[in-house]
Amino acid sequence: MNQGTSLVGKDLGLGNALKFVEHESGLVQGVVSTPRVQGSFFLLGGHVAEFQPAGQEPVLFLSERAVFEEGKAIRGGIPVCLPWFGPKKNEAGEVDANAPSHGLVRTELWQVGSATLEDDVVSVSLEYQLEGLQLKNLVRFGTELSMSLSLLNESEQPAEIELALHTYFKVGDVASVKIQGLEQIGFLDQLSGQTWPATGEAIEFSEETDRIYHGDASRVVLVDPEKARRIKVDSQGSRSTVVWNPWIEKSKRMADFGDHEYPEMCCIETANIRPNQVRLGPGEGTEVSLKISVAPI
Ligand code: TA6
């Protein structure tokens, strides 16, 4: 029996701060509730789904058409994408049509390594063994949401890994938001394949946007005038950042995403991909960490 089902209804000694429930889909969901924060995560994909600090509206976007099913990725929250990003490609750059998008772990059941409560902050270690790669994601639900994803190559072979924390943010109107912190970094437009120099300006959205930035983006800020808030995305260990909004036509092509939902979200993804993929020799490890906090405009 998967550990998850044995957690449902179990008294972890954390009171109402963290309870495991059976979601309506049948999946095991960890529900966080303290005076500081409401949140949740699924064992499926070790997937943080909700984060709402006290006094704030939800910070993460979760599609109303999200599918909650083992083997499928949840549309929203913070998918963990590895060991590849996007479509899987071979050495020759040919796409493997049989391989799932964004790797192998966001559609698998993870385990809970530990769960603690201190000063109304819930910390939970979500863990998964991908062949010789040990994954541990220490997630802390407090006034801020933080996570530290560590990978350890326990095999005798080197491993080349792309990884991304594919965060979906909830916004008031994507056409009015600005993303600051990437002004000085050039980017690859994934839609045209064209590479562009740094624009010197904040990112704004007026069409489908799918950009990969390679460079230091340790502080990215999502300015949302509609919700009168700034979402600060601080990261360590990440050398790539992906910015995405599907806009109108791509939204219609995604069955697990409402046609009208694109104005309510944008993705800022904390990653190490493409030239910044990680190479781990036997016994070597790596870590990427992310902290999400909210401030008034
Ligand atoms: O966020 C960048 C991206 O690679 C986009 O190209 C889009 O495909 C998105 O991820 C969602 O991918 P998914 O496989 O979750 O539908």
Averaged over successive runs of 10 residues, the pLDDT of the chain (297 residues) comes to: 77 93 96 98 98 98 98 97 95 90 97 96 98 97 98 97 98 98 98 98 98 96 98 98 98 98 98 97 98 97
For 64, the 3-state DSSP assignment is coil
Report phi then psi at 190, rounded to 5.
-65, -20
Residue 31 to residue 23: CA distance in whole angstroms: 10
For ligand 1, pick from 168, 267, 269 the residue to mutate: most ligand atoms within 8 Å of CB: 267
Q: What is the CA radius of gyration of the chain?
A: 18
Residue 228 to residue 180: CA distance in whole angstroms: 15
pTM greater than the 0.95 cutoff: yes
User: Atom 14 of ligand 1 has which residue's CA nearest to it?
Assistant: 101
Enter the tokens of residue 259: 């046609």
Q: How far is the CA of 213 from the centre of ligand 1 (A)?
A: 15
Closest to 77 in 3D by CA, of 105, 49, 54:
49
Q: Angle CA(90)–CA(48)–CA(281) in degrees, nearest 5?
A: 40
Atom of ligand 1 nearest to the CA of 267: 1
C-alpha dist (Å) from residue 40 to 128, 178, 280 = 18, 27, 31
Q: Catalytic one among 47, 50, 144, 166?
A: 166
Q: How high is the pLDDT of residue 2?
A: 58
Q: How far is the CA of 86 from the centre of ligand 1 (A)?
A: 6
Q: How high is the pLDDT of residue 1?
A: 42
With 0-12 / 13-18 / 19 or more C-beta atoms within 10 angstroms meaning exposed / middle / buried, residue 256 is middle
Q: Ligand 1: which residues within 6 Å by Cβ?
A: 73, 86, 101-102, 190, 210, 242, 244, 267, 269
